[in-house]
Amino acid sequence: MRWISAIVLRLALGLSFGFAGLIGIWLLIYPGSQLPIVSPSTMLFVPMIGGLCLAVLLVDGIQSLVWKRQWSRIVDSARKIPFNNERAVRRAIRSFSGISALPPIADRRVNVFIRSLSATMLHKQVREEWAWEIYLLAWPHIRSNPALLDETRAAFNGCETLTETAWRVGMALLKERPGESGLAIRLAKESMTRELTNHPPEQLTVLENAWLTAYSETKELRTVLLPPLTRRFLSTTRRDEFAGRIYIDAFVHLAPSHELISEMQRTADALESTGSDPELIANLRALAADEKRETETPPETSATTSEVSTTTPEVSTTTFAPFSDSEQTDFDIPHPDTFEDGSGAEVAASESPDIPEDLIQFTFDGGEESDPPLETEELLQPAASEKPSRQWIWFTAGIIVAAALVTGAFQVFDLASLITGNTEEIASPESSLLPYTMQVSALPTRARAVDMIRTLRDHDLDAYLVTSTRNDRTWYRVHVGHYLTVEEADSIAKQLIEDGIIDGYYVARFEAGEIPEELNYSEE
């Protein structure tokens, strides 16, 4: 859609400029309305191509000026972005990636702005709700810089209430630093109040590691985390030592289900094949077998069944290591596409871990544009929530203007073709040099006009027919000759009146006419 809107706008401007150029050339070359139209297709083609080139240069030039102007207005005298001015930031982002901007250029400019803005805001520890949207957009740049990761961690710790965007940034931070137990416990607590059914599998894997860390390090969270961990392991059929300990705790503290008993037996078999802890394997099999015997033994004989193990497994306090899934990819953090020149792959190596006091400076020669561009649709989503976007209005207006201009151009072309096609024979090849003629009659019927032209041509006069419509009536005018001056036409007309050939006349501007076909048939 971004490419379509940019191209439609340029085509509309190009057609406007080309149509204006066509009219200008027409008036310069043919100032008289009665002059013939020559090569209408050529006259249309050249101005349209020139207008299209002018439109492309004009739009791109305006976009470049807006980019420089908005950047200078958004930065104060100390060269620091006013990070507390949310409206100014959103306005600048929209201006960089408007409807007329080509996507690659807009993405690079937005990328420079977002990277510089996020570095300054993290350095100042800005924690407003809209700030996390900026951090999320700049995450591909933040995660490649250890210093920015530390500042993001500090900002996350200082955030009392986590919005959905802040939650996503925290999950991304935990994926980069899975060993931070404090961050894992914070996210595990926060996950208890969120709906997780629609979360992607990659994010649930990261959250599973946070649950395991919090379960092993905080006793007060074990009762809360045991049910979701059990459901998670049962759904993913995880069969390692960590899952075995969770299954034992679930058997002791929760109502054991048939699915849990079956999975405990399968987990014991899997652990035995890998040579894991024998005590854990024995406990899993003993509990599973005991529960199975109780369900299969009739009530009247339950008192005489085999003796159950006298030792009840304690709640596991083993520290759980994070579960790493090598097949998972990054979760739903915006990842931009790399540039065509492949420079996006070199960002991590070229970034400096030190954050300067002032804003990271940018250059217009591509020096700060090595990062991949951000998707403008994702970038404009926060701004769209502030007020409805007007891009669709401009897009629709551009289509209407383009359609009107194309229709007008084709109408002019059809009119020119109609005039040149209907002119069967011009009275003289030198008509453009002899602009005057004499009209000797205007008759209401074609037959009478043809008879009069036949009579005049019998006297060796260059008579021809011009058809016109006035007041809903068609008139057939008889013109004679073509002359350089009015005086010359008057002199010849007076002589024809004296000879009795014509009765009256008046001098008119030359118009393209035709020799009636009836005369050709009679001559044959």
Using a CB cutoff of 8 Å and minimum separation of 24, what contacts does 193-201 make? Answer: 194/167, 200/331, 200/332, 201/328
Q: pLDDT (tens digit, 9 = 90+) per residue, 21-51?
A: 666 666 666 554 444 444 555 555 556 666 6
**What is the structure's pLDDT at 258?**
84
Higher-pLDDT residue of 439 and 106 is 439
pLDDT above 80: residue 211? no
- Cα-to-chain-centroid distance, residue 142: 24
Given this model, what pLDDT does residue 169 score?
Answer: 82
- Residue 489 and residue 507 in contact, taking contact as beta carbons nearer than 8 Å: yes
* Predicted confidence band of residue 335 (pLDDT cuts 50, 70, 90): very low
* Cβ burial, residue 113 (10 Å; 0-12/13-18/19+): buried
pLDDT category of residue 83 using cuts at 50, 70 and 90: low
- Domains of the chain by range and CATH? 2-60+390-422 (no CATH), 436-523 (3.30.70.1070)
Q: Shortest CA distance to 79 belongs to which of 119, 51, 48?
A: 119
Decide which of 234 and 345 is more confident. 234
Cα separation, 176 vs 119, in Å, equals 18
- Average pLDDT score over residue span 520-524: 53
Whether the per-residue pLDDT at 133 is higher than 60: the answer is: yes
Q: Can you give the pLDDT at residue 302?
A: 38
Is 80 exceeded by the pLDDT of residue 124?
no
72-86, 100-114, 475-489, 510-524: range with highest mean pLDDT: 475-489
pLDDT of residue 138: 80
Query: Between 316 and 121, where is the model more confident?
Result: 121
Give per-residue burial for 239-257: e unless 16+ CB within 10 Å, then b. Answer: bebbbbbbbbbbbeeeebe
Q: Cα angle at 374 between 370 and 379, to 5 degrees?
A: 145
Q: Name the amino acid, one letter, at 223.
A: T
**DSSP character string of 218-285:** -GGGHHHHHHHHHHHHHHHT--SHHHHHHHHHHHHHS---HHHHHHHHHHHHHHHHHT--HHHHHHHH
Q: Can you spell out the DSSP letters for 394-437?
A: HHHHHHHHHHHHHHHHHHHHHHHHHHHHH----S-TTTTT--EE
Mean pLDDT along residues 65-87:
57
Look at residue 318 in the predicted model and tell me its pLDDT: 43
Check the CA dihedral 312-314-320-325 and report its sign.
Answer: positive
The Cα-based distances of 158 to 128, 151, 454 in angstroms read 11, 11, 103
pLDDT at 229: 78
The pTM assigned to this predicted structure is: 0.41
Backbone angles phi, psi at 416, to 5 degrees: -65, -40
